[in-house]
Amino acid sequence: MSASARRPPLGRGLAALFGEAGGGAPSGAMAARVVPIETIRPSPFQPRRHFTEAELDALAQSIREKGILQPLLVRPVAGAAAQYELVAGERRWRAAQRVGLHELPVMVREVADSEALEIALVENLQREDLSPLDEAEAYSRLGRDFGRSQATIADAVGKSRSHIANSIRLLALPAPVRRQLEDGALTAGHARALLAAADPAALAGEVVRRGLNVRATELLVRRREGKPPPRAPRQRDADTVALERDLGSQLGLRITIAARPRGGTLSLHYASLDQLDRILALLRRGD
């Protein structure tokens, strides 16, 4: 069995990593301890590239008033006695330096490089701190450097596989569009729509200039690429919808009716074998 198969998904939350789930410390962890702040160094696997001055100042003020409420998660540095590398908690570490703290509470855990990246990624995603490109690069790195499939990445961080795939696609955008996404001039939705354009950078400028929303951006791309606009969904007949509802209430099932110019179909949807048995019993009453 692989390591990824044995390890529970990290998307369940960071609490379990600190021994708060299940009432005990996780495997490989040690009790909380206090270490000198100079023995801790940042992680090369931190997916977040930017920490704003305002947020660090606000966190520093909170630390002055209340202290460090949760230990930082660190791992030992190989070949260096009493030296640690951050796994989770870089914002607190940076803010603590601003406050002038000399010691910090930590939990020490032996984790592999890929798991260190996953934990840092989950910590940021849970606070929605990552930019779309930082998130995309972290997913890409898990696949590129650690051989993770999109399915196992999705399981590890608690996201859908389509979310992982769509996120990584953003890295294919030209540099000018990535800068606009990083600066907040474009959203991830705008960027995904622009991926379908032959010249995303040219259209991105127009999107920003005209202040187009994501839906309008999608239509702009389709028009410039010579594609017809998507068909509007057909409005369903109100009488048919009412009939579906009435039949469904009587039978305790989901009913769909598809009318055609000549005839149509009536579909009975069951969610369990018990429901299927009940449908068959109803149909056999006329035998």
One pLDDT digit (tens) per residue for the chain, 287 residues: 444 444 444 444 444 444 443 334 444 445 789 999 999 999 988 888 788 888 899 999 999 999 998 899 999 998 888 899 999 899 899 999 999 999 999 999 998 888 888 888 877 776 667 789 988 988 998 888 888 899 988 888 888 899 999 999 999 999 999 999 988 899 999 999 999 999 999 999 999 999 999 999 999 999 988 887 766 666 777 878 888 888 888 878 888 888 777 788 888 888 777 788 888 887 777 65
Of 164, 217, 163, the residue nearest 187 (C-alpha) = 217
pLDDT at 21: 36
- Among the listed residues 90, 123, 137, 218, the single catalytic one is 90
Strands (E), the chain: 33-36, 40-41, 72-76, 84-88, 103-108, 254-259, 264-269
Going from N- to C-terminal start, the domains of the chain cover 3-130, 174-224, 238-284
How far is residue 112's CA from residue 76's CA, in Å, rounded to a whole number? 11
Helix (H, G, I), strand (E, B) or coil at 35: strand
pLDDT at 232: 61
pLDDT at 171: 94
- Cβ(122)–Cβ(157) under 8 Å? yes
pLDDT at 130: 78
Q: Return the half-sphere exposure (C-beta side, CA atoms, 13 A cut-off) of residue 188.
A: 16
Tell the residue number behind the tokens 């990824």, with chain if given.
Answer: 4
Does 90 qualify as catalytic in the annotation?
yes
Enter the pTM of the model.
0.61
Protein fold of 3-130: 3.90.1530
Of 230, 190, 236, the residue nearest 210 (C-alpha) = 190
- Give the β-pairing of 103-108 and 264-269: unpaired
